[in-house]
Amino acid sequence: MKVTETFLKDCFVLEPNVFGDKRGSFIETFNKQTFQQKTGLAVNFLQDNQSISQRGVLRGLHLQTGDFAQAKLVRVIKGKVLDVAVDFRENSPTFGQHFSIELSGENNKQLFVPRGFLHGFVALEDQTIFSYKVDNFYNKESEFGIIYNDRSLGIDWKLKESEVVLSEKDGILPNIDKTIR
């Protein structure tokens, strides 16, 4: 597995090896020992989640706060997304900066999003299956988010504004300047 740290500390792109033959293919999507050796991070994933989205569905930007903060390892099983991680850690030299990457069922790339980061993705194809592991359990009272199109973030979501489909909850998230860090 190839592991590359992004310019955001502790945020990594993982590229698993794909082994194929006439029968099909095999990939190891996660190995705790290999991950720790290559990143220096010890994570203990507790839950796997999956969503299916049509083209234009944007989920984010979210994080869990306090004792329920979560690190995530995200990937696409089928289809394609633009995946975005925003450093929202207080006192981080890259606070408010983002990293984006196209994840697809074809490229098999994954993104490790550390605790303290906002995360979101937009489906670039219909019937996109998005899967992610988290290292802490969900807690409704610990939900936090920033509106996806906050101008101060400067994220290019690769779609026209009119193509974006949001949940009601995501459509009313605040801008960064209206939040208390």
Active-site positions? 62, 132
Cβ 170 vs Cβ 113: under 8 Å: no
Torsion angle, CA of 19/24/29/34, rounded to 10 degrees? -20
Q: What are phi and psi of 101, to 5 degrees?
A: -155, 145
Cβ 60 vs Cβ 145: under 8 Å: yes
Nearest to 85 by CA among 170, 167, 160, 10: 10
Bridge partners of 51?
130
Torsion angle, CA of 148/153/157/161, rounded to 10 degrees? 60
The set of residues, in sequence order, having a beta carbon less than 8 Å from that of 50 and lying 6+ positions away, is 77, 129, 130, 131, 132
